Amino acid sequence: MKLITALSPVFLMLSILSPAAHAAAPTVEILNATWGGKDVTSLAQKHCDRANPCHYKVSERYLGKPAVAGVVDFELSWKCRDGEPREMQTVRSKREGETFEFACQPFIAKAEPKTVERLVQAGQRARNSIARLIQDPERGKQIRSEMNQSCVEYLSALYRSEQSLKSQCVTDLSDTLELFPFRSGLHDAVFFHYTDSEAPGRIVTDASKTESERHNELFTFLRERDGEHSLYVAEDPESTMIWGQNRLTVTLKAGARLIQREQAEKIGSCLSEIDNRHPGLMAACGTYVRPRTVLMLAILEDNGIALYDYFGAGEDHGRMWFHLVGPEGVEKIEFSRR
């Protein structure tokens, strides 16, 4: 096996070749790219075409000055090239310095839609996510009761066909841990939850389950209860101690994404983009997405958003207290008593 690494000021490209490699191995194909009002397709193709993966950094230093002074909008469309029916994907940025990764996996033909029971038996979609619970009349009873029936039916059909509410619009509203403007100025990915309930401690210390299973079970436990669909966490270890004697310390995965309160309130504007891809969504589920609702949490979870700003009356705790959306962004959860 031979590892070939090509480095440039803008991109890092890694390709692994072996005697078993063949022409159908997927690689990145850049379709078009614009930067500040000018076409930079050839630049992107020069560095990323036929690579897999490719890391692309948006920078005036390498892309040149934008055609319109001060306008740093960037947009790039790409797909995987291997002779199979691949979908085009588009990334967008409104700030310089952001880095995107383009990576292709071997093509797998889309399977026939499966029932929830068959998905469980096959070990697929192992997480107990909002998507999973919407389809489950028993454990998802509370979640389903908070939605109108047409929305439950629409989303159940969508998830059974293994689709999602993924939206570039939602991703554009979020920040990485490194860029999020935490009030403390820290970016250590560690958050705290206090409670007097013993149940969360029992769940996250259950040695009979894997760590991933424990995380899944904790959120299923929360989502089976009225209004408790996310876990309230604080960035500091002291401001929420009054909530209980038991502490959960949550560490997020590298690359976890967050949404500020002001941006979360704009998620409703992304519905039209999602509806264009899934016609009938807005007719079934409505056009107003509010914080803490099932539809908003489903959208956030499908887009890999780990946290969003705490919404509450009274004192402002924005950028300090958060809703932990679901298990997907969690690296580990530790239990202790104070």
| Chain segment 265-303, per-residue pLDDT in tens | 788 888 888 998 899 999 999 887 776 688 888 998 888
Handedness of CA 169, 172, 174, 176 (dihedral sign): positive
In a domain, 107, yes or no: no
Verify that 284 and 333 share a domain, yes or no.
Answer: yes
CB distance 33 to 92 below 8 Å = no
Residues 262 and 296 in one domain: yes
Q: Is the pLDDT of residue 4 over 50?
A: no
Q: How many domains does the chain have?
A: 3
pLDDT: is 128 or 75 the higher one?
A: 75
pTM: 0.59
* Range(s) of the domain holding residue 17: 2-102
Of the candidates 63, 83, 84, 82, the residue with the CA atom closest to the CA atom of residue 73: 63
- 121 and 172 in a single domain? The answer is no
pLDDT of residue 18: 34
Q: Is residue 111 part of a domain?
A: no
